């Protein structure tokens, strides 16, 4: 065999698959799904030619992907975790929701948001167990021109002082702890109390965690607070704001940190009602703003 055999085989396989798709009577064979299918196959062939894996290495890849499937169920999605830690989830979000200058960047919601959270009055304390260092939050919701968005509905959720969300820790935290849904006032302002969150590690007991540990990569997330903001006439904003002083701020496993999302979880003087304070402005984009068109679905 000469050195050109793999290249010739690759061209024949790709060409034959392309011909079969072209000859297919299915209405989708010449659409976006078919094009994506061919593109993926071409990239996989290119990667195989570049890496030239042994049969044992190829089997190890198959075993790894199989293990991801076995580790995924209704409570845990190891495939999503894999997409997250290699930056694919973030990249898809960036492509589909481009952020105009001055707007708060959209980030991944993560797996811990709940839709059944009761609405609370402004000024509410989200800590239902009183555990942790109290933090006072002052929020202003505006549009790109700086005008307030009256009555914006704000969902908040976060980990506790041990780096655990309430729905991760149901035996030790009360229902709806450190989460709530509140409305901004006529000036787009909202104040509430919570506790200073702690950063945490993503699950490391599955195949994705074991792979990254073998590579010396840590599944660490710096401390942050999640927000989901909705208002009529505006794009929904899902984002999170990070503690700029967290030691893990430069190694977020999910690539969510942006300069615009860094905030000071500042300490307050002794004797204050809370030990920390967070002041921030969230800027929403109006519906119909240029950019952000959703690509044709792969179906």
Residue 20 pLDDT level (bands cut at 50, 70, 90): confident
pLDDT surpasses 50 at 299? no
In the chain, the percentage of residues whose pLDDT exceeds 90 is: 71
Residue 260 pLDDT level (bands cut at 50, 70, 90): very high
Q: Considering only CA atoms, which of 80, 17, 77, 82 is closest in space to residue 44? A: 17
Longest Cα separation, the chain: 81
How far apart, in whole angstroms, are the C-alpha atoms of residue 72 and residue 61?
17
In the prediction, which pLDDT does 15 show? 85
Average pLDDT over the chain, rounded to an integer: 89
Domains of the chain from N-terminus onward: 1-52 (no CATH), 88-283 (2.60.130.10)
The CA-atom distances, in angstroms, between 248 and each of 198, 242, 243, 275 are 11, 10, 10, 22
Angle between helices 5-23 and 32-51 (to 10 degrees): 170
How far apart, in whole angstroms, are the C-alpha atoms of residue 243 and residue 266?
9
pTM higher than 0.85 = no
In the numeric block, which tokens belong to residue 42?
């071409």
pLDDT tens track for 193-251: 999 999 999 888 899 999 999 999 989 999 999 999 999 999 999 999 999 999 999 99
Which sign does the torsion angle of CA 248, 272, 283, 114 carry?
Answer: positive
Of 196 and 7, the structure prediction assigns the larger pLDDT to 196
Q: Tell me the three state secondary structure of residue 284.
A: coil
Residue 73 pLDDT level (bands cut at 50, 70, 90): confident
């Amino acid at each position: 065999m000469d050195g050109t055999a793999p290249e010739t085989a690759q061209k024949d396989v790709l060409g034959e698959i392309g011909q079969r798709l072209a000859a297919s009577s299915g209405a989708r064979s010449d659409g976006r799904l078919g094009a994506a299918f061919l593109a993926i196959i071409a990239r996989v062939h290119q990667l195989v030619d570049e890496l030239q894996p042994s049969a044992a290495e190829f089997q190890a890849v198959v075993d790894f992907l199989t293990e991801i499937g076995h580790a995924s169920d209704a409570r845990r999605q190891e495939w999503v975790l894999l997409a997250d830690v290699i930056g694919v989830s973030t990249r898809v979000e960036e492509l589909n929701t481009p952020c105009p200058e001055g707007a708060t960047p959209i980030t991944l919601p993560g797996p811990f948001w709940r839709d059944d959270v009761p609405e609370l009055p402004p000024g509410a304390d989200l800590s239902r167990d009183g555990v942790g260092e109290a933090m006072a939050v002052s929020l202003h919701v505006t549009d790109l021109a700086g005008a307030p968005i009256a009555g914006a509905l704000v969902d908040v959720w976060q980990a506790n002082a041990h780096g655990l969300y309430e729905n991760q820790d149901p035996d030790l935290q009360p229902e709806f702890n450190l989460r709530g849904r509140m409305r901004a006032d006529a000036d787009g302002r909202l104040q509430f109390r919570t506790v200073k969150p702690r950063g945490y590690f993503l699950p490391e007991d599955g195949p994705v965690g074991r792979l990254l540990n073998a590579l010396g990569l840590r599944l660490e997330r710096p401390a942050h607070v999640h927000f989901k903001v909705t208002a009529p006439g505006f794009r929904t904003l899902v984002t999170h704001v990070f503690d700029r002083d967290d030691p893990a701020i430069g190694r977020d496993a999910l690539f969510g940190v942006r300069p615009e999302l860094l905030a000071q979880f500042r300490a307050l003087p002794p004797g204050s009602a809370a030990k920390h304070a967070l002041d921030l402005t969230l800027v929403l984009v109006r519906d119909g703003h240029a950019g952000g068109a959703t690509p044709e679905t792969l179906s």
